[in-house]
A and B are shown apart, each in its own frame.
Chain A
Amino acid sequence: MGTMGCKAFLDQLDSWIEGERTPDARTHVAGCRRCRSVADDLTAISSTARSMAGTPEPPAYLWNSIRARLEEEGIIREPHPAVTPECQAFLDQLDSWIAGEKQPDARAHAAGCPGCRGLAEDFDVIATAARALGNETAEPPAYLWNSIRAQLEDEGLIRKPQPEAVALPGKGWFAWLGLPRPALAGVFAAVLAVIGLVASGPITRQINDYRWMRGTQRSANKLNAQLDRVEHATVASVGADPLVAAALHKNLAIVDNYISLCEKSVRENPQSEMARDFLYDAYQQKADLLAQMTEQGE
């Protein structure tokens, strides 16, 4: 893997994304699967960001994929009309707009351009939500990140975190990307801009709740159906010892109760990662118990 370690590589990731790739860094990336994955993802995001500077629309594949999802959700608006030089100027100073510095000419343009107004309104919604969260920095709220990340993972645009964790600088989503916070500023703005451009409709907690609920239900229904099938086939055939059978049935009832309480908790708060985690644990427990009961019956 060469002399450069993961930490050293991540420290100079900024330069890598800018295209300044030292032989050491190239050697490290060639030999380190995780850093290669991070570098590939960020290079892709960075290219998207750069392409947006020329033409303020995301690449077709990205647009089509996310637009299809948003249409499915019923939250999409009319697309941005043809980009004029005024639109370009407005987009160039979008950072200041998000920061609350709304120049008179930008206000005037937004008032007359429905596309840019929609975009600006969306950024305002995101910024307000971030401030409401009370964070030290204007990061979007966790549920929004979760939603964005889930969507991007679903689309295959970013990879899921690798299990073999390397200690990375930064925190949260940034830590997952493995990028120091300052270096991510541009990437963050680019991702946010992509989301802002395509999600030209209000992103509400209700929508996210609905989407989490739907996603969880989709997985849970499949699991439930499979477990029910196994349970019907298993329960009657549990072994001869009545004490053992009684213990197994009693514990199956405990697990079923556990599942139903976790399901209730997920219904009440679909975005709760912990509730979902406990629910999947409960399914796992039931699957293991049914496997044990099957063995007893054999």
Chain B
Amino acid sequence: MHTRFAVPEGNWRAAFLLIPALAFTALPASARRIEKQFKVDTHPIVSIHSPSGTVIVKAWTKSEVLVIANIDSGNVDLGAVQNGDHIDIATRLLSNNVSPSELRADYQVDVPENTELQIHNDTGGVSVANVLGDMNVETVGAGIDLQDVAGYLTVRTVAGSFSCLRCAGHIQANSISGNMSFVDTRSTNIQGHTVTGNILFSGQFLPNGQYSLKNYSGIIELKFSPGDSFDLSATSLKGKVNNDAKLIRPRRSDRSMPREGEALFGTYNTAGRASVKLASFDGTINIVKR
């Protein structure tokens, strides 16, 4: 019997979309709203450093960057400076004695779609939509929600969850205790690595694409469709591998294939094969039909 992934896909999306949006709109009466606007060309670099609060970034058609900050405390302010095409946005401390709760600032940033993003957010949440430039996102406990993004995406979160919906490009995600989900992705290269989190992949297997998902414990769930084509290697050193795919086993054994734990190798369909590598130390790997 398969151990199914704990959170249904629809709920993942809803949760990741709603939480930052609600947090941004439900502001306390004392919150200050600060706006700053910058003229840029079509490929600006925007870096956002926010220790606490939500960060929502969306692409628009204007060659401008618009920053809207909602800040509760009088001890912090919006720091936003432009240096050529580099916009640096940060929560600025106005006093040496700022309590952690006063650090909260919620940002909504509109950027040209080819913007390169660098986001650091400890707690709160990061949501990025329709931005096609490269991006690097780092958080401690904040969840990361990317939608319709492309480019070279590097995501690192200590404990936050990571959700990637209709993402393209090259995706590299790393977490310690956060869950990851890759849904309807159109990426040729995805690497997802978490220590104790679950990983869900329900994206496209592009020809010659490389998909590598790894965790220490937890569940790795890979969803496939009848038309997909991939070479699969799935190994759980101490856990289980459950498979619904009718795989063509390799004709001869390959020394590069690990012979340890519970392992599964084979080819699903043959044209334009992608390479899929799933590895877990003592977690469960489920390969299931979409």
For residue B180, CB closer than 8 A to chain A, the reply is no
Min distance, Cβ B279 to any Cβ of chain A, angstroms? 7
The docked-state distance in angstroms from the alpha carbon of A145 to that of B195 is 31
In the complex, how many residues of chain A place their beta carbon closer than 8 angstroms to a beta carbon of chain B? Answer: 36
Q: Judge whether B256 and A285 touch: CB under 8 Å.
A: no
| A243 / chain B contacts, CB cutoff of 8 Å | 100, 123, 141
Interface residues of A in 249-272 (CB under 8 A from B): 250-251, 254-255, 258, 261-262, 265, 269, 272
Q: Judge whether B195 and A172 touch: CB under 8 Å.
A: no
8 Å CB contact of B159 from A251, A272, A273: A251
Contact with B along A143-183 (1 / 0, CB 8 A): 00100000000000000000000000001110100000000
For residue A101, CB closer than 8 A to chain B, the reply is no
The docked-state distance in angstroms from the alpha carbon of A241 to that of B51 is 9
| B235 / chain A contacts, CB cutoff of 8 Å | 274
Q: Judge whether B141 and A258 touch: CB under 8 Å.
A: no
Contacts between chains A and B (CB distance < 8 A), count: 96
Contact with B along A132-147 (1 / 0, CB 8 A): 0001100000100100
8 Å CB contact of B261 from A242, A274, A285: A274
Min distance, Cβ A287 to any Cβ of chain B, angstroms? 12
Contact with A along B33-68 (1 / 0, CB 8 A): 000000000000000000110000000000000000
The docked-state distance in angstroms from the alpha carbon of A248 to that of B157 is 11
Q: Judge whether A265 and B237 touch: CB under 8 Å.
A: yes
Chain A binding site: helix, strand, loop or mixed by DSSP? Answer: helix
Min distance, Cβ B176 to any Cβ of chain A, angstroms? 4
The docked-state distance in angstroms from the alpha carbon of A171 to that of B252 is 9
The docked-state distance in angstroms from the alpha carbon of A172 to that of B254 is 5
For residue A130, CB closer than 8 A to chain B, the reply is no
| B156 / chain A contacts, CB cutoff of 8 Å | 288, 292
Q: Judge whether B176 and A145 touch: CB under 8 Å.
A: no
Minimal Cβ-Cβ distance residue in A for B235: A274
The docked-state distance in angstroms from the alpha carbon of A248 to that of B123 is 12
Q: Judge whether A289 and B255 touch: CB under 8 Å.
A: no
Q: Judge whether A171 and B140 touch: CB under 8 Å.
A: no
Min distance, Cβ B52 to any Cβ of chain A, angstroms? 7
Q: Judge whether B255 and A251 touch: CB under 8 Å.
A: no
Contact with B along A276-298 (1 / 0, CB 8 A): 00100110010011001000100
The docked-state distance in angstroms from the alpha carbon of A73 to that of B193 is 38
Q: Judge whether A248 and B255 touch: CB under 8 Å.
A: no
| B281 / chain A contacts, CB cutoff of 8 Å | 258, 261-262, 265, 278
Q: Judge whether B256 and A172 touch: CB under 8 Å.
A: yes
8 Å CB contact of A172 from B176, B196, B255, B261: B255
For residue A275, CB closer than 8 A to chain B, the reply is yes
Q: Judge whether A171 and B255 touch: CB under 8 Å.
A: yes
Listed by A's residue number, 10 A-B pairs whose Cβ atoms lie within 8 Å are: A135-B253, A241-B52, A241-B122, A254-B176, A273-B258, A274-B258, A275-B260, A282-B216, A288-B174, A292-B156
- The 8 A-B pairs with the shortest beta carbon distances in the complex, nearest first, are A172-B255, A241-B100, A251-B176, A247-B141, A244-B122, A171-B254, A274-B260, A247-B159
